[in-house]
Every structure is written in C-alpha cells, then in structure tokens.
C-alpha cells in the first residue's frame, strides 16, 4: 500500500485463468476528511424556585457555563438556556427549554451540557423523548453528574434509572409537603397568609376583613347552590 496525492493506492495481484499471467489492477480509495468545523455548544440550567439561594445558584451556573464553553478550544458559544421557578415534572411553561429545542431544530446547536438529567426533566418518559429528539438531529447531550453522553450505547438505560429516581424523589417530596400542610391545618396553624381572601393575620391569628367578607360568603352560597368554579 502506498499513499499518493491524498489517495490510498492499493495494488492487487491475481492470476488470470485463461492466460495464466499476472494482471495488475489498481483501486483508488479517497481519504476521509477530518471534520475541522468548531462545535456549537450550549448549556441548560433550571432551578425550581425563585428563592434567593436558588437565584444565586442559577446566576453562578450561567456564568460558569458561559466561561467553560467560551474558553474551550474548538467550541463556539451558542448560549445558556435556563428556567426559573419551574417544576421538572412538566415541560409546559419552561420557555428556556422550549427555546433550546427550537434552536436545535433550526440547526444552531451541536452539543448541549447540563448539570444532571433531573435538571432537564424529572419525568422519565419526557426526558427520553427529548434525548431521542436531539439524537435524531445529530445533537449530543452531556449530563455532568451522571457522566453520561446521550450518544453512548447505554445512555438510555442509565438516564432511565436516574430519571426514575428523580421522579420518585419529587413525588415523595410533594407528598411530604402536602402531609405537613394538612397536619398544620388540623392544628389550626397557617404558614402563609398572603393569598387569604377575607382574612388578615393579627399576631398569628386569622381575623375577618369585613369589606371582603361579603364576597367570601357569596362564594360559599353559590357553591351550596351547586355552582361550579367555571
């Protein structure tokens, strides 16, 4: 084998059955060109509440990913997409995730980095759908905590396990919160008074607000008549 002018030169010898001579044949196999185009890389972040600590964490993640992608040789920064105060159980209402998928559809992203599978979605089925949607378009997704690339052969199995654990964790947390609220109500305790119509808090006690009481009484009266919310 000889390499000449960008081609592999392959010379094969075989016996001609009619003339019993040696015939030379040459096949040219083009050399594959290496992909030297820069990788367009984006990141995705999400925090579930708007508490001060989580907002600070979100700002830190955005800054860290911006620097990480911008400083990496061969990478082109394609944005950090984020959602704040949104649950990971539903894709609906998460504008950051929506815009990232739209950019992926338009061919503006090649590679996506995110902290963990739970940040993308706590719904296992939805998470796999997102991974497959991106994979069909040749876009890789890397989950840092799980150390999994969506193009890996075992990626779906690993992410399914992680997603199932995240979904169960979220369900348990929700049940615990509901249980705590119910116990407080039974004891006559209230943790928040901001959205109570017809009442205000005075030294830890709920006191009726006369000007709003008429509306509250009307609501109960209409309910007893069989009216629905709509």
Q: Which domain holds residue 110?
A: 39-166
Higher-confidence residue of 22 and 126: namely 126
176 located within any domain: no
Q: Taking residues 61-74, report their average pLDDT.
A: 93
Give backbone dihedrals phi and psi of 112, rounded to 5 degrees, phi first. Answer: -125, 135
220 located within any domain: yes
Q: Does residue 29 share a domain with residue 61?
A: no
- Sign of the CA dihedral 56, 112, 115, 159? positive
179 located within any domain: no
Q: Which pLDDT score, from 0 to 100, does residue 40 have?
A: 95
DSSP H helices in the chain: 52-71, 95-105, 117-120, 124-136, 155-186, 210-224
Q: Does residue 4 share a domain with residue 95?
A: no
7 located within any domain: yes
Q: Does residue 9 share a domain with residue 90?
A: no
Both tokens assigned to 35: 């992909």
Q: Does residue 159 share a domain with residue 53?
A: yes
Q: Does residue 71 share a domain with residue 6?
A: no
14 pLDDT tier (thresholds 50, 70, 90): very low
Inform me whether the pLDDT recorded for 119 exceeds 80: yes
26 pLDDT tier (thresholds 50, 70, 90): low
Q: Which pLDDT score, from 0 to 100, does residue 33 have?
A: 47
The tens digit of pLDDT for each residue in 71-112 reads 999 999 999 999 987 655 556 668 899 999 999 999 999 999
Task: Domain count for the chain, please give it.
Answer: 3
């Amino acid at each position: 084998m000889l390499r000449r002018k960008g081609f592999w030169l392959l010379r094969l010898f075989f016996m001609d059955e009619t003339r019993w001579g040696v015939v030379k044949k040459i096949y040219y196999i083009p050399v594959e060109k290496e992909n030297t185009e820069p990788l367009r890389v984006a990141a995705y972040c999400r925090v579930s509440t708007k508490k001060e600590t989580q907002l600070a964490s979100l700002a830190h993640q955005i800054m860290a990913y911006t620097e990480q992608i911008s400083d990496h040789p061969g990478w082109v920064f394609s944005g950090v997409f984020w959602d704040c105060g949104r649950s990971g159980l539903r894709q609906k209402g998460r504008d950051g995730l929506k815009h990232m998928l739209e950019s992926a559809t338009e061919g503006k992203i090649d590679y996506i980095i995110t902290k963990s599978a739970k940040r993308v979605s706590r719904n296992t089925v939805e998470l796999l759908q997102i991974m497959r949607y991106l994979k069909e378009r040749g876009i890789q997704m890397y989950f840092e905590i799980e150390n999994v690339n969506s193009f890996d052969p075992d990626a779906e199995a690993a992410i399914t396990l992680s997603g199932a654990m995240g979904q169960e964790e979220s369900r348990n947390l929700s049940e615990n919160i509901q249980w705590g609220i119910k116990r407080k109500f039974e004891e006559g305790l209230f943790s928040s008074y901001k959205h109570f119509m017809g009442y205000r808090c005075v030294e830890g006690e709920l006191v009726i607000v006369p000007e709003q009481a008429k509306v509250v009484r009307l609501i109960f009266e209409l309910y007893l008549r069989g009216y629905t919310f709509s």
